Structure 1
Amino acid sequence: MTSRHLVLQTDFGLCDGAVSAMYGVALSVDPNLKIFDLTHEIPQYNIWEGSYRLYQTISYWPKETVFVSVVDPGVGTERLSVVAKTVDNQYIITPNNGTLTHVLQNIGIIELREIDETINRLPNSGESYTFHGRDIYAYTGARLAANVISFEEVGRKLNVKEIVELANPEPTVENGLVSGNIDILDVRFGNLWTNISRDLFIQSNVEYGDLLEVTIENNERQVYKNAMTYGRSFADSRLGEPLIYVNSVDKLGVAINQGSFAKAYHIGTGMNWKITIRKAINTAYNDVND
Structure 2
Amino acid sequence: MNKLLVLQSDFGLVDGAVAAMIGVAHEVDMNLKIYSLTHDITPYNIWEASYRLFQSVKFWPKGTVFVSVVDPGVGSSRKSVVAKTKDGHFVVTPDNGTLTHIKKYIGIEVVREIDEKNHRRKESELSHTFHGRDIFSYTGARLASEKISFEEVGGELPVDKIVELEVGKVTRTESSIKGNIDILDVRFGSLWTNITREDFLKIGFEYGDRVEVVIKNGSTLVYNNRITFGKSFADVYVSEQIIYVNSLLRMAVAINQGNFAKAYSIGTGIHWTIEFKKTS
Does the pair score TM above 0.5? yes
Is 1:51 the counterpart of 2:16? The answer is no
Asked if structure 1 preserves the Cα contact closer than 8 Å seen for 2:168 and 2:194, the reply is no
SS at match of 1:88: coil
Is 1:73 the counterpart of 2:77? The answer is no
Partner of 1:29: 28
SS at match of 1:27: helix
Partner of 2:250: 251
Asked if structure 2 preserves the Cα contact closer than 8 Å seen for 1:173 and 1:203, the reply is no
Q: CA deviation at 1:127?
A: 1.0
SS at match of 2:254: strand
Q: CA deviation at 1:158?
A: 0.7
Partner of 2:165: 166
Q: CA deviation at 1:3?
A: 4.2
Alpha-carbon separation, structure 2, partners of 1:242 and 1:62: 36
Q: CA deviation at 1:174?
A: 1.1
Asked if structure 2 preserves the Cα contact closer than 8 Å seen for 1:85 and 1:112, the reply is yes
Is 1:205 the counterpart of 2:166? The answer is no
Asked if structure 1 preserves the Cα contact closer than 8 Å seen for 2:246 and 2:252, the reply is yes
Partner of 1:229: 228
Alpha-carbon separation, structure 1, partners of 2:238 and 2:38: 30
Q: CA deviation at 1:172?
A: 1.7
Is 1:16 the counterpart of 2:15? The answer is yes
Partner of 2:101: 102
Letter in 2 for 1:42: I
- TM-score normalised by length of structure 2: 0.99
Is 1:188 the counterpart of 2:180? The answer is no
Is 1:82 the counterpart of 2:81? The answer is yes
Alpha-carbon separation, structure 2, partners of 1:279 and 1:82: 45
Q: CA deviation at 1:199?
A: 0.6
Alpha-carbon separation, structure 2, partners of 1:251 and 1:8: 25
SS at match of 1:254: strand
- TM-score normalised by length of structure 1: 0.95
Q: CA deviation at 1:280?
A: 2.3
Partner of 1:288: none
Asked if structure 1 preserves the Cα contact closer than 8 Å seen for 2:69 and 2:94, the reply is yes
SS at match of 1:216: strand
Partner of 1:91: 90
Q: CA deviation at 1:169?
A: 2.1
Deviation string 1:227-272 (CA, Å, 9 cap, x unpaired) is: 0100000011111111100000000000001100001000010001
Moved more, 24-33 or 167-176: 167-176
Please report the RMSD computed on the Cα atoms of aligned residues, expressed in angstroms.
0.7
SS at match of 1:208: coil
Runs of 4+ in 1 over 4 A off after TM superposition: none
Alpha-carbon separation, structure 2, partners of 1:229 and 1:3: 44
Alpha-carbon separation, structure 2, partners of 1:158 and 1:109: 12
Alpha-carbon separation, structure 2, partners of 1:261 and 1:30: 44
Residue identity over aligned pairs, in percent, reads 59
Partner of 1:274: 273
Q: Which runs of 5+ in 2 are unaligned?
A: none
Q: Which runs of 5+ in 1 are unaligned?
A: 282-290
Alpha-carbon separation, structure 2, partners of 1:174 and 1:280: 14
